[in-house]
A and B are shown apart, each in its own frame.
Chain A
């Protein structure tokens, strides 16, 4: 009746069977058993093949340096897509259109530390973010560590690879800091504040910029510059943020870095496109029909697909930047990681005043929109927030802007939620229970 199976000697529960006496010489067997412990040949006998697995030890090889770095980038790209979906739902950019129970707490802003964002993979339903971002941080840091241990003779383009690993580590840190109320960014390390996460991000970007300059890797130089500007903005180092943003625009005034996407594998999907295609999300109504002085805003061109979402009731609205029609092709659209547009907005926010007006209008010119005339400092600040909301829609920024600028949630906490219950007030992702209860440092504290 017991369910726990055991090997070794099984206990007899005995029936009436008669055990006949059988004398055997046990000593030789026992002597052999004793010899087993000392016999080093046993180790050889116990070696087994696992050709379908990749032993972590095999990755610790200079010839796999490139593999470690591309692995870190792949982990980041998958985590980024998941982050945009999660932060979009929590941060009023998206609404849930599914009937999947586990998703509602995001949209409803009632997440707690056991919600799926903490444990699901980046391809889950809903996609998770804490584990994917933790993996992205670990893999980029691990690649960075190995690259520093190896030599230029062992690894071609080692310094350039260091720049890549450090830059993507920096971005993984940024998303962790912007989305989470607190986080752990070292293996089994302590709980740290978002500010500490941003400081770690700056350190990674410093490293990336130095390595990119040394190796002539302009792409990583530019990527790290915007990344550091973003991190510094979060740290309220406004001068440093503006300086990095200007340096990026000086280096490449049209620079854009994307996370590539394809339909080859769910990990490679544009996660936002995949969610739209699956009808699990729809654009939040606050983004419908946005205009600038009566001119439709092309940055947030929302399309009513006139098709029902996963719940069979919600009309799925998609945004043109990720596809003109609700189709599988949305999974292949690249996702912006960083861009010159963001650099202008960073300068606008950091410097304010007429410089902010000028930067806003550079972007307005790009999109063929009427100019912003400016106004009081408060009006300019409000316009910067609005420009960020539109310019960076579904690029993983808005949740952090809600936090930074203390923008009230809509609908407000306590309002009835369409699936039952009421809206909550969560504005950041709590450190998941899976980290708190399995990290020895946190268990002790």
Chain B
């Protein structure tokens, strides 16, 4: 096609355009069987084709089967404390389409010599791009105990994703900048979701309920194509996909020990780093950092959960509390990095001798810039008192004075306190973009979540 026809290429360049069209063609068939309302079997098959698939990629098939058995309905069931129990198992395959134009190789319109519009490589594309395919086995149960005063839900899952769509930087020698989406490997997600709910106290004018939920998701890269064992997502921040480790895990150089001169300046040749094998190795050769990047942790939580409780006093007063937590992950504390290794306005910078004996590794890392990045990759677990609220339902006659059939007042306090070892502003703040490719949470210039007090008046008419 001769010439440029995109709006960006016009002589008047203060314009832009975007357009997205995505087509999926698919069919779906499902068969369900029910035996005496206690055994349920479902089988299904789905076929999809999508415009976002690469030219070289064709149709994709997704089968599914599930079985559920309400065992407590069986005549032989004789555990009176467990009034309901449902067992279930399922196998299914699913897919995730690539982005609408991820497969396409494109140029971008840019101003050229004498400001005449021309083109430059934009997206390298991938003609072989297809959907991410996952197969999952689920086993679980739901139980009601003591006439449903206690409920337990539990699900174990083991999901294997093949042809996982991961963003991989292009080798610049390809002539195209940025990254491309590729079906690049095999990833395992394994974990459980559990919930325990119960009525702790039940009296005519007093009821106390509590719920605890916990989820664990452990993901691991099993395999990467092209005989590789790692993909570097961001070399400077140390985000990598490595076989045997979680997706987008943290890898960086970690200082173990260092000596300092009489002014508290680190002696580079004395710096020893973690060698990743249980030992140490020199961090530097001359002034060049040579220590290996070692595994430091995952970027996504391994565990997360909530604890909530509701206290109902009479028919009008309701007290509610919610705490949530996440643990087993780390974030990059970029504020500390900038303050302490670049702008040099941390205590370690102005009074280094105070830290020579107490925190030599940290001091050495701060004095050598960002090349010893492990110092900024820090535990980000937290437990947060998310909400405490008090609700009061007004008497009907009072509501009617406002012409309402029902009225209530709710006083809520949110984000009251956070227990965390995180050194930045907020363990939940995340900055995901650019070369980190959506992996590797980082905090930079984020405002923490504010503590807020909210009063709500509800009137129903």
Contact = CB atoms under 8 A, between A and B. Distances in A.
Interface of A: 1-16, 18-24, 26, 28-30, 32-33, 36-37, 42, 45-59, 61, 63-64, 67-68, 70-71, 73-75, 77, 99, 101-102, 104-105, 108-110, 112-116, 118-119, 121, 130-131, 134-135, 137-139, 142, 184-189, 260, 262, 264-265, 267-268, 413-414, 416, 419-426, 432-435, 437-440, 442-444
Interface string B368-409: 111100000000000000000000000000000000000000
A70 B120 CA distance: 10
13 contacts: A1-B193, A8-B95, A24-B32, A33-B61, A46-B25, A50-B21, A71-B118, A188-B171, A420-B344, A420-B349, A421-B369, A435-B171, A435-B172
Contact of B17 (A8, A47, A52): A52
A57 B300 CA distance: 39
Interface stretch (B40-48, B197-205, B309-317): B40-48
B286 A264 contact: no
Contact of A63 (B2, B100, B168, B215): B2
Given A15-B142, A36-B47, A440-B226, A74 B176 contact: no
Contact of A437 (B19, B29, B33, B231): B231
A437 B169 CA distance: 9
B235 A61 contact: no
A53 B175 contact: no
Given A13-B138, A37-B59, A104-B369, A139 B121 contact: yes
Determine the interface band of chain B, counting residues with CB < 8 A from chain A.
Answer: 35 or more
Contacts of B268: 422
A424 B287 contact: yes
Nearest to B32: A22
A64 B118 CA distance: 10
Given A36-B25, A185-B173, A19 B40 contact: yes
Which 5 pairs show the lowest CB-CB distances between chains A and B? A138-B175, A21-B34, A29-B29, A63-B2, A114-B235
A6 B134 contact: yes
Contact of B93 (A9, A101, A413): A9
A250 to B, nearest CB: 27
A191 to B, nearest CB: 10
A309 B193 CA distance: 54
Interface string B141-172: 01000000000010101000100000011111
Given A104-B369, A268-B111, A7 B94 contact: yes
B415 to A, nearest CB: 21
Given A15-B142, A432-B172, 4 more contacts: A1-B191, A46-B25, A71-B110, A99-B343
A413 to B, nearest CB: 6
Contact of B51 (A47, A110, A419): A47
B84 A16 contact: yes
B115 A56 contact: no
Q: By CB atoms of chain A within 10 A, which of B40, B120, B125 has the most? A: B120
Contacts of A20: 34
A410 B34 CA distance: 83
Contacts of A11: 64, 90, 92, 94, 136, 138, 157
Contacts of B280: none
B3 A24 contact: no
B111 A264 contact: yes
Contact of B30 (A24, A51, A58, A188): A24
A135 B171 contact: no
A239 B210 CA distance: 89
Interface string B107-148: 111111111101111100100000110101010101000000
B120 A75 contact: yes
Contacts of A420: 341-342, 344, 349, 366-367, 369
Contact of A112 (B138, B367, B371): B371
Given A184-B171, A260-B114, A265-B111, A12 B44 contact: no
Contact of B175 (A110, A187, A416): A187
A421 to B, nearest CB: 5
B236 interface: yes
A174 B86 CA distance: 72
